[in-house]
Amino acid sequence: MRARRTPVLTRQAIQKLQATIEMDPNFANAHFKLALVYEIKGMYREAVEEYVKNETISGTNTEAVERLREAYATLGWDYAAPDPASR
């Protein structure tokens, strides 16, 4: 059964993941999961930031890199760009 994605549940997921990251900023999987939730909500800039943090912490994660590429494409960005914040 697929989980329901209501605004309340996604808001709670964001809050819990952010709290987890506050406790351990180097917990790569929390950054990855937060990026997924942001992407579900259409918050692609935030998703990109979290995917980049995940990749920086954990090294190359094939799934994370693919999701990052998709988020960049959605924003019309080039994945090879060194600094998406400068756009």
Residue boundaries of the structural domains of the chain:
7-79
Q: Which CATH class is domain 7-79?
A: mainly alpha
Q: How far apart are CA 87 and CA 12, in angstroms?
A: 30
Instruction: Provide CB contacts within 8 A for 84, sequence distance 6+.
Output: 45, 48, 49, 52, 72, 75, 77
Q: pLDDT (tens digit, 9 = 90+) per residue, 26-77?
A: 999 999 999 999 989 999 889 988 988 988 898 776 777 788 778 888 888 7
